[in-house]
Structure 1
Amino acid sequence: MLPQVSNTPPPAFNVGHPSIPLTGSLKDVNHVVLFMQENRAFDHYFGSMAGIRGYSDPNVQVNAGRPVWYQDVDSSLSDNTDHLLPWYLNHLGGSWPEASQCMVAGENGWHENQGALNGGLNNLWALNNTPWSWGHFRRDEIPVHFGIAEGWTVADMYQESVIAMTNPNRVAWVSGSINAPGSPQTPDQGGPTIDNNETPGCEGDHLNCYPLKWKTAPEYYQDAGVSWQVYQDRNNFDDNPFAWFWQYQTALPWQPLSTRGVSFLHSLDAFYVSAAAGTLPQVSYIIGPEQLSEHPPYQPKDGAWLQKKVVDAVTKGASYNDTVLIISYDETGGWGDHVTPYHSPENTQGEWMKDPYGNLGDVYTGPGFRVPFYIVSPWTRGGHVFTEHADHISQIKFVEQWLETKGFNVTSDQVPHWRREHMSDLLNAFDFLHPDFSLPEIPEADAPSKDFWGRYDGYAKCEAKFPENRPPVPYGQQTEKESLVSEEGFKKVRGQLTEGRYLVFEAFGWAVTNKDGRVGVSRASAKHEKKAQRWVVHQDAPASDVFTVSSAVDGLFIGKGLRLVKGVAEAQKLRFTDLGNGLGYAIRTGDGRSISLTKDGRIGFEGKGGFGFELFSVTYRD
């Protein structure tokens, strides 16, 4: 059993930063640090976390009567079962927690990921990738990751940009596009980039053409006079995407695209020094070393050490009070995720293409599966979950919005229209009116092992010690009760609402409650654990802010006049609007009236004004 985890922020200490004049807006940010790691899926890392869309998802997709938890299995894998549920990789205990640190799950390429997706059924991870793809860690294996994500704000609907491997996703991260058909780029500018090709020329007819020649986000920063810098060591795992663009390859050694983008003049040590001194540029990119990247077989625990070092440098540095650190992962690395990607309608320009390998027909290139993502800053502190649809392009949009408040126009014209219109700009993850400069207590991370020459060798030692590091798959030995296990606790919700969580609606110390088959009110509790106060939202359409709402107690829906009714046909459609900056959520009926709670514990309607409910995403086993 997993421990009960309350998401009350951990004990904190006073950082002691000097007071600065604040505007209570995005303009208070002066530095943004973008740090991308490698090849992990959201469920694989955080599926068991409390208060997020994970293994307690009440809106899980159902295919022909079978939830997507049940991945198809045939006799090529096992004669004992026809399915595989999510499984804890270290279910056997013993030495497996150490061995699985350096295991590889499956393949991260176009074929395997599109094959697992299976046209949207998302049910072939075991067969079209590997059964290990459906395995996951828990807090015990990655306590530092949990600590950082829960100390600030974790996003549970953040997606890779491309259903493919590293290079396409990192290209999207820094430029906003992979040049799929209909993108703002022209065919002679390279791409469409759907694999890791770095050989000059094309792999096929206008396929994976290299090098790339469209404008990247930092070139807009450079033109506008915004300071920026890539921090990397020489052993950068070929993870610096700027090196794949012609204009960086041909820049002279003293020119900014070279010195700021692809040189090794600014190492990770230089980043730590600048962060401590408060002298970081306005925009920083961090490219970690290969063995600390978390790309299987490189160990999560070694990546945790790097993450903590970066987080400590920022949070204990002179400019934490005006810095945003965004930590993300480029793609899933062959690990599976249960949420079918949110994506554009068929044949949307810049988003869809005919499968160049002739296997799948017309497919969307992305956004793809969910990957871990969290934001460290004084405005995201406190254990929140951010619920908006987002992907790597969201980081570009956030920087654009922020720099606009500083008087810079850096809006890229390289981002496909649908992606710009439908991916979050991340602003609702922040509460600029109420910064919190305290720091959570993050677990210590063991320093990575090094060999005689000072090279990281933790993964090599792990592989040498455990030649067999893939745990046995528990075919035919699973039940939902044992497999779909989550920690218990809660997180306060930020961002426009999406499905996938049990929610509690609170105001003035009261909570909306199922009271014997009718909508009522009862006292809220510190842990938000009462089942009668638990509700499930059902989205009217993809990306809609209109939902129907059912009770976790009996499945009855909130109907007109705040009655509880049977069936979605009689349910009242309600619009949820995030008011931003900690002001909560407005909940309105179809005619615009606001549902409200009063200070003396009554529920009713107001006019079109109203106030904000606090929403809590909760996970409890009853």
Structure 2
Amino acid sequence: MIPLLSPALAGSIADIEHVVLFMQENRAFDHYFGSMAGVRGFSDPNVQVNSDGKPVWQQAANSALTTNTSYLLPWYLNYEGGSFLNATQCMVAGNNGWEDNHAALNGGLNNHWATNNTPWSWGHFKRSDIPVQYSIADAWTIGDMYQESVIASTNPNRVTWASGSINVPGSPQTKSEGGYPYIDNNETPGCEANDFNCYPLTWKTTAEFYQDAGVSWSIYQDADNFDDNPLAWFGQFQEALTGSPLSTKGMVGQSLDDFYAQAKNGTLPAISYIIGPAELSEHPPYSPRDGAWLQKKIVDAVTQGAGYAKTALIISYDETGGWGDHVTPFHSPSGTAGEWLNDPYNLAGYTYSGPGFRLPFYIVSPWTRGGHVFTEHADHNSQILFIENWLAAKGKNVVTNQMVPWRRNNMSPLLNAFDFANPDFSIPDLPDAPVPHMTADGVYDGSSYCESLYAVTRPQVPYASQVAPDKVGSFSEPGFKEMRGALTEGRYIVFEFGGYALTNAGKPARDFTATKASSAHSDLAQRWVVHALATAGSEFTISSARDGRYIGAHTGLINSASGAEIYTVEFLAGEGYALKKENGKYVTVDGSGNVQIAGDASYFKAYSVTYSN
């Protein structure tokens, strides 16, 4: 650990002076972090089971793929070892477009990744393949319910990141500002048939709101920016006069070297957008290892710079890149304005534009240090909402009127990922990241170099050597993460208060009790599963991982979900989770370890745990 001089304790979001937004390319949550301990990954106890009785782990397979099996389970891309340990760094999985990903979603069954995208879409890495990404996420706070904004490719998602919308009918924009809607990577002036995917876009971006409010901001990019700067797709930036703020800050921007120097000196603007070069973007076939080198450069620049004590670095990915994820997207009700549309490609029918599948996401800051998991529903709009809340705390009213209302009302503003009362200014030791390969002229060429070394980059799909369907959890690392944020499903949870953990002692005991907590939070008897009454609600029934019994009336344990008591779970940042019963009273544990029902809330620490027993 590298100690830092600790300034006076920060107490609110207003203590932030710099927000850095760094977006990478085309990876899905399960593909990167499904095996990580303490997250909603391959050990998900709430995994969706479809009407055919099969969990979504079992992706449909057909005779065109294999005659060995009717399904494909998640599989480790480097199971064969050997040259694949390096070759898969430059492999491609599937297609990231609107059509193929809606086809994989299959109307919400989420079971056609192998047949309607590719069987490689269901493959995943683990810690040894992407150690830098794991270490950054482990050292600070990872979000495991962060979704792409659009079930589509790069441009629509980055447009949302920069503006809050893609102009689905019913959005705040007019049709003339960019067509109905923008769901593909079209950058040819004009529209596609039926007046959608129009280019350029012309509604107001968040950067323009910041400019109008006198908030400093800048794009950071080099000559090779992989055409990933979303501001460049808006007409007002394309037409901005040389030397104007939109041209200087948004089109030309500053270099990555400028970012490193300003981070070192503590002179970054209030808001920084980082756009990396193609070879370092992690977009297949560009290597995760090369992207890790860039990530570490940026993390080191921020954490070792003069302004770290007042900086939040948000690292996200724009979309899944054709890699699959097992969590069916949280989305709006049918008919929601600005969200639902008739598929202009005439493939998915009447459907929602997003939010889509989960993406890797983590936040580096003193207020997110410590290996937490943030559990709230979020998407690219959440980064806009976070900045709005931050600027409001600093006395600036900077609220975009371009965001779709449902997103504003239902996507997390990320505030609960932070504990502003208890910052931790220590800096972890991150693993080294190999320097990306370059040509003799100093040009990054990692993907072509990798492909020159390995004629085959896609391993054989292991149809005939899969684990049993109920053993998918064996892919997960053992361990835990302390939880932050409004409660969502998908994890085994240990609730602890005053050194005790809520416990199911097993039959014949008829009530749950409390027993001494352990540092590893690993006791099966202390593990619980929550079952949401509504996807985005705070009401849950709670069952025991030990024997499946549910919490019933008072402190009783019953054998069926029928009759289970409904708990409202309240989260308070810096404190934890209060378990509120139907009668308005709260579960607590007294100093002797006895479970009590009290009138005032007690806040439990909650740990998302992943263990094989």
TM-score (norm 2): 0.98
> What letter corresponds to residue 318 of structure 1 in structure 2?
A
Deviation at 1:407, TM superposition (A): 1.0
Within-5 A mapping of 1:265-414: 266-414=254-402
> What letter corresponds to residue 170 of structure 1 in structure 2?
R
CA offsets, 1:139-166, max 9 Å, x none?
A: 0100000000000000000000000000
Q: How far apart, CA to CA, are the structure 2 residues paired with 1:282 and 1:437?
A: 20
Picking from 169, 173, 197, the partner of 1:181 is 169
Aligned to 2:504: 514
Picking from 117, 123, 128, the partner of 1:129 is 117
Structure 1 alignment gaps of length 5 or more = 1-11
Picking from 143, 148, 152, the partner of 2:136 is 148
| 1:54 is aligned to 2:41 | yes
The SS at the match of 1:164 is: coil
Q: How far apart, CA to CA, are the structure 1 residues paired with 2:593 and 2:374?
A: 28
CA offsets, 1:492-527, max 9 Å, x none?
A: 000000000000000010000001242011000000
| 1:253 is aligned to 2:242 | yes
Contact kept in structure 2, 1:174 and 1:216, CA below 8 Å: yes
Contact kept in structure 2, 1:449 and 1:457, CA below 8 Å: yes
Aligned to 2:192: 203
Contact kept in structure 2, 1:88 and 1:483, CA below 8 Å: no
Aligned to 1:590: 582
Deviation at 1:440, TM superposition (A): 1.3
Contact kept in structure 1, 2:506 and 2:547, CA below 8 Å: no
Within-5 A mapping of 1:39-78: 39-63=26-50, 64-78=52-66
CA offsets, 1:79-131, max 9 Å, x none?
A: 11000000000001111110000000000000100000000000000000000
Picking from 548, 556, 564, the partner of 1:563 is 556
Q: How far apart, CA to CA, are the structure 1 residues paired with 2:514 and 2:299?
A: 41
Contact kept in structure 1, 2:521 and 2:607, CA below 8 Å: yes
Aligned to 2:440: 452
Q: How far apart, CA to CA, are the structure 2 residues paired with 1:210 and 1:13?
A: 48
Deviation at 1:186, TM superposition (A): 0.3
CA offsets, 1:186-219, max 9 Å, x none?
A: 0000031110000010012221011101010111
Aligned to 2:225: 236
Contact kept in structure 1, 2:279 and 2:445, CA below 8 Å: yes
CA offsets, 1:434-464, max 9 Å, x none?
A: 0000011111101101101100011111101
The answer to which of 392-401 and 467-476 deviates more is 467-476
CA offsets, 1:415-437, max 9 Å, x none?
A: 11111000000000000000000
Contact kept in structure 1, 2:43 and 2:472, CA below 8 Å: no
CA offsets, 1:304-354, max 9 Å, x none?
A: 000000000000000000000000000000000000000000010000100
| 1:618 is aligned to 2:606 | no
Deviation at 1:361, TM superposition (A): 1.2
Give the RMSD, CA atoms, in angstroms. 0.9
> What letter corresponds to residue 83 of structure 2 in structure 1?
S
> What letter corresponds to residue 103 of structure 1 in structure 2?
M
| 1:163 is aligned to 2:154 | no
Aligned to 1:441: 429
| 1:30 is aligned to 2:17 | yes
Aligned to 1:534: 527
CA offsets, 1:457-482, max 9 Å, x none?
A: 11111101112100000012112366
Deviation at 1:276, TM superposition (A): 0.1
Picking from 4, 7, 15, the partner of 2:4 is 15
Aligned to 1:190: 178
Contact kept in structure 1, 2:159 and 2:230, CA below 8 Å: yes
CA offsets, 1:15-65, max 9 Å, x none?
A: 235x24x45111111100000000000000000000000000000000121
Contact kept in structure 1, 2:528 and 2:542, CA below 8 Å: yes
Picking from 452, 458, 472, the partner of 1:464 is 452
Aligned to 1:6: none
Q: 1:573 to 1:157 in 2, by over 3 A?
A: same
Structure 2 alignment gaps of length 5 or more = none
> What letter corresponds to residue 272 of structure 2 in structure 1?
S
Q: How far apart, CA to CA, are the structure 2 residues paired with 1:204 and 1:16?
A: 60
Contact kept in structure 2, 1:559 and 1:571, CA below 8 Å: yes
> What letter corresponds to residue 589 of structure 2 in structure 1?
L
> What letter corresponds to residue 590 of structure 1 in structure 2?
E
Q: How far apart, CA to CA, are the structure 2 residues paired with 1:130 and 1:483?
A: 20
Contact kept in structure 2, 1:88 and 1:135, CA below 8 Å: yes
Q: How far apart, CA to CA, are the structure 1 residues paired with 2:542 and 2:428?
A: 34
Picking from 482, 487, 490, the partner of 1:492 is 482
Contact kept in structure 1, 2:282 and 2:291, CA below 8 Å: yes
> What letter corresponds to residue 126 of structure 1 in structure 2?
A
* Alignment coverage as a number of residue pairs: 606
Aligned to 1:7: none
Deviation at 1:561, TM superposition (A): 1.2
Aligned to 1:9: none
Within-5 A mapping of 1:571-586: 571-580=564-573, 582-586=574-578
> What letter corresponds to residue 435 of structure 2 in structure 1?
A
The answer to which of 477-486 and 389-398 deviates more is 477-486
The SS at the match of 1:209 is: strand
Picking from 528, 538, 546, the partner of 1:545 is 538
Q: How far apart, CA to CA, are the structure 1 residues paired with 2:445 and 2:2?
A: 35
Deviation at 1:591, TM superposition (A): 2.1
Deviation at 1:483, TM superposition (A): 4.5
Q: How far apart, CA to CA, are the structure 2 residues paired with 1:257 and 1:614?
A: 46
The SS at the match of 2:403 is: coil
CA offsets, 1:548-570, max 9 Å, x none?
A: 00000110000111100011111
The SS at the match of 2:196 is: coil
The SS at the match of 2:542 is: strand
The answer to which of 357-366 and 106-115 deviates more is 357-366
Aligned to 2:592: 600
The SS at the match of 2:443 is: coil
The percentage of aligned residue pairs carrying the same residue is: 61
Q: How far apart, CA to CA, are the structure 2 residues paired with 1:304 and 1:579?
A: 34
The SS at the match of 1:400 is: helix
Q: How far apart, CA to CA, are the structure 1 residues paired with 2:590 and 2:296?
A: 44
Q: How far apart, CA to CA, are the structure 2 residues paired with 1:526 and 1:538?
A: 26
Q: How far apart, CA to CA, are the structure 2 residues paired with 1:140 and 1:76?
A: 33
Which aligned runs of 4 or more in structure 1 are off by greater than 2 angstroms? 480-484
The SS at the match of 1:111 is: helix
Q: How far apart, CA to CA, are the structure 1 residues paired with 2:555 and 2:400?
A: 46
> What letter corresponds to residue 526 of structure 2 in structure 1?
Q
Aligned to 1:423: 411
CA offsets, 1:271-309, max 9 Å, x none?
A: 000000000000000000010000000000000000000
Q: How far apart, CA to CA, are the structure 1 residues paired with 2:169 and 2:23?
A: 27
